[in-house]
Amino acid sequence: MSVQVWTYLLVGITFALYIGIAIWSRAGSTKEFYIAGGGVSPLANGMATAADWMSAASFISMAGIIAFSGYDGSVYLMGWTGGYVLLALLLAPYLRKFGKFTVPDFIGERYYSKTARIVAVCCALIVSFTYVAGQMRGVGVVFSRFLQVDINTGVIIGMIIVLFYAVLGGMKGITYTQVAQYCVLIFAFMVPAIFISLQMTGNPIPQLGMGATINDGSETFLLDRLNGLSTELGFAAYTDGAKDMIDIFAITLALMVGTAGLPHVIVRFFTVKRVKDARKSAGIALLLIAILYTTAPAVAVFAKTNLLNTVSNKEYSHMPKWFKNWEDTGLLLFEDKNQDGIIQYLADNSKNELTVDNDIMVLANPEIAKLPAWVIALVAAGGLAAALSTAAGLLLVISSSVSHDLIKNVFNPNISEKGELWAARIAATLAVIVAGYFGIHPPGFVAAVVALAFGLAAASFFPAIILGIFYKKMNKEGAVSGMIVGIGLMLYYMAKFKLGWLGEIPDNSNWWFGISPEGFGSVAMAVNFIVALIISRFTPEPPLQVQEITENIRIPSGAGNAKMH
């Protein structure tokens, strides 16, 4: 069977599975819609959290970034995995003990203010829509290549699927769908990685294969071969970095604290019965996430080596079918500048004739390596599972922020449960439409868009949550001021240096402190902390009752009358 037939078959089976789970687990109450009834097991929640967190950026784009930036791509590995540890240890158990449905719910109650709740909702919507744009683009990329439709049509198909199970099932439907999606995405990521590792090095473990010798009898290490290929073409050695240390530090920190402030991940810890279960599911999720994250650098090395061996200084007319297929999507572009029919892939942009979109590397990798058609189709199904699982979680955050935090807790406290459930579903529908628009008109490739979302979460939520848990005297004036200044500063920097909304985008030499837009969330977060702490010193302390609640959420369950001072 052809790749396209295999793709239709595997994607069709997985989509039928997701829709079937959504119908089986449809939500009948707001508690089921928001937090799956609060009775999910730690194992199921750990798998769902891993799928929710490993988005299209992790599956499709991260290895692509590492493939083209080499050592500099390590910031994504360090930031995203480190951030999950931060979330599991510093935030998840305490937020679960506080017992509110959403991040805006926590901020609204902890800072005893409707204004704080509204600001938190606005921040959640900005973060979630920025993040979901990357997921929808990931869906479009997969559909455009493997189902032979244009990217816009692919985005629309993805919207329809997500809309069905997110709106019908709510968190209950999403949770059990994400368990299935984790199984699909991890299998789809590991199978080709194992195949290619065996093919190139004879070692079936990709993490070890990356550092092994090539099995061509030369006794050359794979990374040495890739360094040689890179430098021959004028690129920096793959294992050398080009970024300034300050930018590496800033991006890593922004991704870490951004992870710890992501509302769609935090809400997962409200779906289990006990605080102990929140800790267990966090540990399980970290182990499951590590499988993909330790494999991604190996996939990047395999893909880049195979790409350079296949296309560099080769005749265009002799290119394999995969090259022409990706050209048709517009994500791979050959421009024969000297009209000699030879592909010149060089670091010198004036002579370079090949443009490769980062997002195609993982998806094209099995084709470049000439793996069987079913493996190629499996990767397509895995990419869709990764994008759809995160998109669904984000859409739930958007709908619950509107229905629960705005309508129920601000504008119409007397709304019936049925009315609130309908409001949540309508909000999710509108969110899917907006997300689809961003997917069709994204501000960059998948991981870059997602990195900006992490920066926004770092700039807005992280200080408010950390201070809300660990500093009992943090008041509403400080928290609200910090969130507004933090996210405002991050949005300004994105608009000026990334999106071009304030005129022509300045070059890198004009970055503040030498920090890229992807890393500027660290600076905005620091400003948020400073503003919040200064304002809180010159405004009234929180009510005594709020201070007692803050102390109480840090006391382990079963500690009796122990007090923390």
Query: Which tokens hold the place of 57?
Result: 């950026």
Residue 565: pLDDT band with limits 50, 70, 90: very low
For 329-363, write each residue's pLDDT tens digit.
777 888 888 888 888 888 777 888 888 877 788 88
Residue-level pLDDT at 442: 65
DSSP 206-217: HHHHTTSB-TTT
What are the DSSP E strand ranges found in 197-343?
Answer: 332-334
Q: Is the pLDDT assigned to residue 243 strictly greater than 50?
A: yes
Q: What is the pLDDT of residue 166?
A: 65
Q: Residue 556's pLDDT is what? A: 56
Query: Residue 88 is encoded by which pair of tokens?
Result: 């599991």
pLDDT score at 407: 82
pLDDT confidence of 31, banded at 50, 70, 90?
A: low
pTM, to two decimals: 0.81
Residue 470 has, within 13 A of its CA and on its CB side, a CA count of 12
CB-side neighbour CA atoms (13 Å) of 221: 8
DSSP class per residue in 337-363: TTSSSB----S-TTT--EEE-GGGHHH
Range of lowest pLDDT (144-158, 180-194, 432-446) = 432-446
- The answer as to CATH 1.20.1730.10 being correct for domain 3-552 is yes
Q: Which amino acid is at 175?
A: T
What's 131-185 look like in SS3?
Answer: HHHHHHHHHHHHHHHHCCCCHHHHHHHHHHHHHHHHHHHHHHHHHHHHHHHHHHH
The helix/strand/coil state of 124 is helix
Question: pLDDT band for position 36 (50/70/90)?
Answer: low
Residue 564 confidence (pLDDT)? 40
| Whole-number Å distance between alpha carbons of 533 and 146 | 52
B/e letters for 63-96, b = 16+ CB within 10 Å, e = fewer, are bbbbbbbbbbbbbbbbbbbbbbebbbebbbbbbb
Distance, CA of 79 to CA of 62 (rounded, Å):
12
3-state secondary structure of 41: coil
- Whether the CB-CB separation of 439 and 140 falls below 8 Å is answered with yes
Mean pLDDT computed over 403-407 = 78
What whole-number percentage of the chain has pLDDT above 70? 92
Cα distance between residue 159 and residue 139, in whole Å: 9
pLDDT tens-digit map of 175-216: 888 888 888 889 889 999 998 999 888 889 998 988 888 887
